[in-house]
Chain A
Amino acid sequence: MSEYRVKLDVFEGPLDLLLHLIKEHELNIYDIPVSTITKQYFEYLDLMQSLNLDVAGEFLVMASTLTYIKSRMLLPSPAEGGEEEEEEDPREELMRRLLEYKKYKEAAETFRDREEKQMLTFGRNFTSEWDANDADYLEEVSVFRLLSSFREILEKTDNAEQFYEIRLEEISITEKMTALLDMLEKKPRLCFADMFEGATSRMELIGTFLAILELMKQQLIRVYQEKEFGEIWVQGGEQVKTMDDDNIEDQLENKTGHEGNELGN
């Protein structure tokens, strides 16, 4: 299992992680508490590394940027009373980048709505080019949101530590993936935490989590939330296959409900 690496950079980058942290901890993006966010950032980095996720170099660059900003914040500003140039807030550059990026992220969400709508109609030129063999990913829940849920699950089991570490188990991610798909065949959808039911060791929990990421990558499952910070649901292949209009329409309604006029015309 140590051989198994899920590439994270195909999912999201360090700016996503920061935005996730800001949202999760309800931080003020215009006045980012640098030491708090740096601490949390490093916690995620550690978690990702301990899961053996292939952390892109950009994450490390951002880590050093944060550390740098943090140290700049600690330095006393050279306020010699004089009318020296106003010292720029060391966080400003980062804040700008986050805000700029966030705009495009939000715009991307409206593209998702449009895509969803448009997917129900076909022109003559529709071809199999959009077919399922395309290993593109669908992840409606950000990978960081999943990481934070997974961390809760890990913590819960750590507290209720009843594991007897007897032997080094061999856990095959492929087997896990099949097992998860079997689970999802029986039920139309499961909540994220249910996917870990029956896991008897920390190792197995991690294996399950990696299997979920892999299934998401291959679009064999669909992971979504009905509302932000709501329950995370996992939907299996069968459901994705036969996803009927009702389903999609419901989702569209949900979305339009939340985001109102953004669908526009």
Chain B
Amino acid sequence: MKGTNLETEKAVNIIETILFVSEEPVSVKKLEEVLDEFPPEKISECLGMLGERLENHGLELVEIAEGWQMRTRPAMGEWVKKFHKISRSTRLSRAALEVLSIVAYRQPITRQEVEDIRGVDSSGIVKKLLEKNLIRLLGRRRLPGKPMTFGTSKKFLEYFGLVKLSDLPALKDFAGKFNEAEQTDFVFATESASEEKEPADILLEQEVEMIEPVEEDYEESLDEEESFGEI
């Protein structure tokens, strides 16, 4: 029994080390692979121990983006900024956040569909979000012109401190902050909205099987669309 304790202690150290050297959040599965001689069911216990161990530290253990990561505590933020001479934090624009939320809830989605919802050209923003790796290419839709479809990335989860997509509040909870009396009239609108959503789900299934290597031509086709301007 003594041995196992030692083992656990050691496993915690190893996990700590891995999380330290990894640039990205590390999934439990990945940890299991590395600690292959350690009982996998005890990994989460080790993570708990590591979390406790870091209690009075500048770092903390966080579950994020489908994995685990050691991050600086919020109170340490100003010191990191001082060290890195970060003068100001750049945030995403309203428009960029809007596009992200549409992509997050409606993925896979084409740029055209994003624009249909926003009612305004969004190509520059989509390009920018791709560059920032907040969204990624999922595939192409089986429609004339084979438009590309986009979805959110792991980076997106990390950027917003989410563990997984399903942690997002349900879209229907954003039924609008209009007054209660009006809400009742609203029922039919939500119903039709949810009807509309189903085709997207079906398309998701179709798309899984048709993720093609699109990387090469997507840059091209984005360029063709000219005039991105600065977003």
Contacts and interface: CB of A to CB of B under 8 A. Distances in A.
Interface of A: 7, 9-15, 28-30, 56, 58, 62, 95-97, 99-112, 114-125, 128-132, 134-140, 142, 219, 237, 240-241, 243-245, 262, 264-265
A111 B101 contact: yes
B2 interface: no
Nearest to B167: A265
B87 A132 contact: yes
A31 to B, nearest CB: 9
A118 B159 contact: yes
Contact of B120 (A13, A107, A122, A244): A13
Contacts of B89: 119, 130, 243
Contacts of B105: 104, 107
B24 A111 contact: no
Contacts of B24: 125
Contacts of B69: 123
Contacts of B175: 103
Given A104-B117, A107-B171, A132-B90, 5 more contacts: A96-B193, A120-B77, A132-B88, A138-B90, A237-B88
Given A10-B95, A106-B174, A131 B182 contact: no
Given A130-B89, A136-B92, A139-B94, A123 B158 contact: yes
B144 interface: no
Q: B76, B174, B192: which has the most chain A beta carbons within 10 Å?
A: B174
B101 A29 contact: no
A150 to B, nearest CB: 18
Given A120-B77, A219-B90, A103 B119 contact: no
Contacts, number: 183
B231 interface: yes
A114 B171 CA distance: 16
B77 A7 contact: no
Contact of B182 (A29, A56, A119): A29
Given A97-B119, A99-B189, A125-B24, A244 B78 contact: yes
Given A15-B118, A101-B118, A219-B90, A108 B98 contact: yes
Interface in B172-211: 174-178, 182, 185-186, 189, 192-193
Given A103-B171, A118-B159, A121-B77, A14 B186 contact: no
Interface of B: 20, 22-25, 62, 69-78, 80, 84, 86-98, 100-102, 104-105, 117-121, 124, 128, 132, 158-162, 167-169, 171, 174-178, 182, 185-186, 189, 192-193, 229-231
A136 B88 contact: no
A117 B73 CA distance: 11
Q: A103, A109, A119, A134: which has the most chain B beta carbons within 10 Å?
A: A103
B71 A121 contact: yes
Contacts of A262: 169
A136 B128 contact: yes
A107 B101 contact: yes
A28 B183 CA distance: 11
Contact of A106 (B20, B84, B177, B182): B177
A123 B70 contact: yes
B102 A104 contact: yes
B120 A111 contact: no
A30 B77 contact: no
A166 to B, nearest CB: 37
Contacts of B84: 128
